[in-house]
């Protein structure tokens, strides 16, 4: 640190100037070097965790619209709906080690309801016709008061080989069936199927349901 007790050599300047700080203490002009704090680099463990979060976030990003509907949050949430979904899938659906991480696709969750409606009764998944995947279900013989015939059915189809999600909506609970036409380039591919229901006004959400996996027929 440099000081002067004579006439000011600092020209009345105060504060940071480049790599030094100019100040006055008891009428003594002072100049001292600024402390340069080195940015702490993330540890290997932190880098690994960042990589996991990026992997899961990228996988779920096509599902953002459904996640924003299905992941209901308390009044003062600690995290966004997508962050809640990422956290769930890191803990429950991501398997393997740092050399080979992959998803247990049977554990994918499209919803975490607080105010819920019922899912469908006895869903059946079939792929017996060329390019067609048929999902059928029954009406619940023990419906809750919240369970309505015009509840909306949201279906998600995941093409593992293509790493691609297809989503279908505008289906009602009382339709009892839906046929999905798979792209021609997916013949022989596995398709994983999921379902979630919402009330017509979107305020109630059913638990997410994994329907199973089928192979697209030629």
DSSP-derived letter for residue 76 is S
Which pair of structure tokens corresponds to residue 104? 């247990």
- Which domains, ranges and CATH numbers included, belong to the chain? 2-33 (no CATH), 44-215 (2.60.40.10)
pLDDT on residue 31 = 64
* pLDDT < 50 stretches in the chain: 1-5
On whether the CB atoms of residues 20 and 34 are closer than 8 A, the answer is yes
Residue 153 burial class via C-beta count within 10 angstroms: exposed 0-12, middle 13-18, buried 19 and up? buried
Beta-carbon contacts of residue 30 (< 8 Å; ≥ 6 apart): 1, 2, 3, 22, 23, 24
Q: Are strands 20-25 and 28-33 parallel, antiparallel or unpaired?
A: antiparallel
pLDDT of residue 10: 52
Q: Which residues contact 201 (CB under 8 A, 6 or more apart)?
A: none
Q: What is the pLDDT of residue 111?
A: 98
Provide the pLDDT for residue 42.
Answer: 84
Instruction: Tell me the whole-structure pTM to 2 decimals.
Output: 0.81
Q: How far apart are CA 36 and CA 22, in angstroms?
A: 16
pLDDT in tens, 163-203: 999 999 999 999 999 999 999 999 999 999 999 999 999 99
Cα–Cα distance, 78 to 84 (Å, whole number): 9
- Give dist(CA 179, CA 131) in Å, integer: 10
**Residue 138 vs residues 29, 172, 209, 211: alpha-carbon distances, Å:** 86, 12, 15, 14
Q: How far is the C-alpha of 36 from the C-alpha of 39, rounded, in Å?
A: 9
Say what the pLDDT of residue 90 is: 97
State residue 39's pLDDT score.
Answer: 77
Given this model, what pLDDT does residue 99 score?
A: 86
Q: For the CA atoms of the chain, what is the radius of gyration?
A: 29
Which pLDDT score is estimated for 101? 94
pLDDT of the residue at 89? 98
pLDDT of residue 30: 67
């Amino acid at each position: 640190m440099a000081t002067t007790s004579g006439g000011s050599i600092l020209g009345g300047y105060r504060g940071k100037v480049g790599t030094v700080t100019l100040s006055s203490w008891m009428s003594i002009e002072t100049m001292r070097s600024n402390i340069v704090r080195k940015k702490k680099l993330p540890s290997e463990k932190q880098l690994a965790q960042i990589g996991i979060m990026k992997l899961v976030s990228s996988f779920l990003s096509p599902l953002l619209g459904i996640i924003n509907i299905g992941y209901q949050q308390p009044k003062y949430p600690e995290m966004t709906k997508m962050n809640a979904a990422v956290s769930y899938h890191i803990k429950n659906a991501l398997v393997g080690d740092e050399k080979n991480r992959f998803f247990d696709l049977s554990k994918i969750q499209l919803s975490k309801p607080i105010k819920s409606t019922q899912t469908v009764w006895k869903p059946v998944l079939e792929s017996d016709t060329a390019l067609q995947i048929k999902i059928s279900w029954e009406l619940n013989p023990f419906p809750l008061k919240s369970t309505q015939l015009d509840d909306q059915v949201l279906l998600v189809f995941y093409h593992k080989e293509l790493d691609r999600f297809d989503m279908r909506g505008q289906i009602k609970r009382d339709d009892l069936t839906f046929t999905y036409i798979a792209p021609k380039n997916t013949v022989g591919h596995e398709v994983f199927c999921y379902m979630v229901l919402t009330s017509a006004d979107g305020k109630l959400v059913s638990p997410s349901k994994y329907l199973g996996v089928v192979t697209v027929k030629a």
